[in-house]
Chains A and B, each alone.
Chain A
């Protein structure tokens, strides 16, 4: 069974930085597009960023472009999200998610339990 374990969340002041990690196991990590999805308290789901299996292609929602950087270390089966210039509206539970196995897959077939990021002074 696929395992995704996020870490790195916490309380940070506006303008600060955090680096989230997602440790993956029980699948061939390098073959899959990986994604960060967030959920603000009491709100719905929002796609944040995705990265191709090779790491060469990266995609971001407009609201985080220039502030967040997604990356991966395929030798360590780990996904990262470097978050800079954090704002109050970045406060959310951040999920690591794996896209489905088919070539055209754009759906998420596995999710971690999330790591909470709180941006507040």
Chain B
């Protein structure tokens, strides 16, 4: 079974700075990767699918890259509403659908 590992567990960033989040798959998943944002008390929200395609309504400051086993979510200039937990999820040859453990982006 594929294991998804996110790093770091917590990322402390100043508002306006760039944030780079990593997600690694234990075996190749091609570009079958999605990213979600979850704020306290809310359901997750889809940000990126296909490793790099922004979902409807997602601001351009969010970008995804990577393929195979290494993926990155970049937030180019953090806004106050971006402080949240971010999850990656693989969907190559599922089931199962597997989420990473999450990266919490907090205000520095």
Question: Is chain B found bound to chain A in the same assembly?
Answer: yes
The answer to whether A44 and B101 touch across the interface, beta carbons within 8 angstroms, is: yes
The answer to whether B95 and A108 touch across the interface, beta carbons within 8 angstroms, is: no
Report the separation of the CA atoms of residues A10 and B38 in the bound assembly, to the nearest whole angstrom: 23
Q: Does B99 contact A (CB under 8 A)?
A: yes
The answer to whether B99 and A45 touch across the interface, beta carbons within 8 angstroms, is: yes
The answer to whether A100 and B49 touch across the interface, beta carbons within 8 angstroms, is: yes
The answer to whether B97 and A50 touch across the interface, beta carbons within 8 angstroms, is: yes
The answer to whether A44 and B46 touch across the interface, beta carbons within 8 angstroms, is: no
Report the separation of the CA atoms of residues A61 and B99 in the bound assembly, to the nearest whole angstrom: 12
Interface SS, A side? strand
Closest to B45 in A: A111
Report the separation of the CA atoms of residues A44 and B9 in the bound assembly, to the nearest whole angstrom: 12
List residues of chain B with CB within 8 A of the CB of A106. 32, 34, 90-92, 94, 97
Say which residue of A47, A60, A100, A105 sits within 8 Å of B99 (CB atoms): A47
Of B42, B43, B45, B49, the most chain A CB neighbours within 10 A belong to B43
Report the separation of the CA atoms of residues A59 and B93 in the bound assembly, to the nearest whole angstrom: 13
Q: Does A113 contact B (CB under 8 A)?
A: yes
**Interface residue range, chain A:** 20 to 34
Closest to A96 in B: B43
List residues of chain A with CB within 8 A of the CB of B92. 106
Q: Does A68 contact B (CB under 8 A)?
A: no
Closest to B87 in A: A45
Q: Does B59 contact A (CB under 8 A)?
A: no
List residues of chain A with CB within 8 A of the CB of B100. 44
Report the separation of the CA atoms of residues A108 and B98 in the bound assembly, to the nearest whole angstrom: 12
Given contacts A105-B49, A106-B32, A109-B55, contact A47 B96 (CB under 8 A): yes
Q: Does B8 contact A (CB under 8 A)?
A: no
List residues of chain B with CB within 8 A of the CB of A47. 95-99
Chain A 71-113, CB within 8 Å of chain B: the 1/0 string? 0000000000000000000000001000010000111110111
List residues of chain B with CB within 8 A of the CB of A45. 36, 38, 44, 87, 89, 99, 102
